[in-house]
Amino acid sequence: MQTYKQRAELCSNPTAHRLFKLMEEKQTNLAIAADVISKQELIKIADELGPEICVLKTHIDIIEDFDDDLVIQLQRLSEKHNFLLFEDRKFADIGNTVKHQYENGVYHIADWADITNAHTVPGPGVIEGLKEVGLRKGRGLLLLAEMSPKGNLATGSYTEASLKMAEEHKDFVIGFITMKKLLDDPCFINMTPGVKLVQGGDALGQQYNTPEKVIKEQGSDIIIVGRGIYQADDPLAEAKKYREAGWQAYQNRL
Ligand code: 5BU
């Protein structure tokens, strides 16, 4: 099993390289899903939890008072605390449309998000469209090979076809949203949502696994944790617990 550091050296996509490198340096494989709806709350999470995480995952379109200053502040905090910005946009249209959704509109995602992701349901055109914008900026794309909620359709031959699409676009696709490691290629990074310290679910189909299960047993690389952290009484203390659990599971895997 290769270390994050060894994998950093193997990957030519600059975002994948940076991510593996900073994970090793900071000793964290924790990504926070900052699903809050105000600018102030999002900035607070980025600043307070920044030292604990490798990735800040956003849903920028749920912010009620979004403005360009939010993006400037997030970029500043990502430099200050050394983490990457991942906009969980889940692009899912034809290549020409996603290109505009990525580059234009209100959010200009390609200008600030180091990482974004896409469904593979439209076929390879979705990757090709995003790549026209993101590759020259050194960005990275994750494909949704699997999903966490109950009854989702990203399984079996759909997942298999998604892996093939990734292999055909290795310059831009840096990995997967997945419940487990799916390919042996060390340059694909596996990020897993649906993580809590206790297994279970929510009322809307979400299913949770523990950091230990996700990283050690299922061979994933990054745990994505939302409510488990930001809804805790002391989010910073809780983030430290997840960080420790995720890193310990990684070391046990090695
Ligand atoms: P939670 O609060 O830890 O349940 O939040 C999980 C986050 O991960 C949330 O932002 C979702 O949009 C995201 N997510 C997910 O839960 N499951 C998936 O399959 C994918 C994304 Br793709």
The reply to whether ligand 1 has any atom less than 6 angstroms from the CB of 80 is no
pTM of the model: 0.98
Domains and CATH numbers, the chain: 4-253 (3.20.20.70)
Q: How far is Cα 138 from Cα 149, in angstroms, rounded to an integer?
A: 31
Among 119, 224, 230, 231, say which to mutate for ligand 1: greatest number of ligand atoms within 8 Å of CB: 224
Say if strands 200-201 and 207-208 run parallel, antiparallel, or are unpaired.
antiparallel
Tell me which amino acid residue 2 is: Q
Residue 177 has what pLDDT?
98
| Atom number, ligand 1, closest to the C-alpha of residue 208 | 4
Q: How far is Cα 192 from Cα 106, in angstroms, rounded to an integer?
A: 28
The residues annotated as belonging to the active site are 90
What are the average pLDDT values for consecutive 10-residue runs of the chain, which has 254 residues? 95 97 98 98 98 99 98 98 98 98 98 99 98 98 98 98 98 98 97 97 98 98 98 98 98 96
Residue 13 has what pLDDT?
97
Residue 239 has what pLDDT?
98
Residue 1 has what pLDDT?
82
Helix (H/G/I), strand (E/B), else coil: 113: coil
Question: How far, in Å, is the centroid of ligand 1 from the Cα of 117?
Answer: 12
Do 116 and 135 contact (CB within 8 A), yes or no?
no
The reply to whether ligand 1 has any atom less than 6 angstroms from the CB of 224 is yes
The reply to whether ligand 1 has any atom less than 6 angstroms from the CB of 103 is no
Q: How far is Cα 218 from Cα 165, in angstroms, rounded to an integer?
A: 22
CB atoms < 10 A from the CB of 240, how many? 16
Burial class (CB within 10 angstroms; exposed 0-12, middle 13-18, buried 19+) of 41: middle
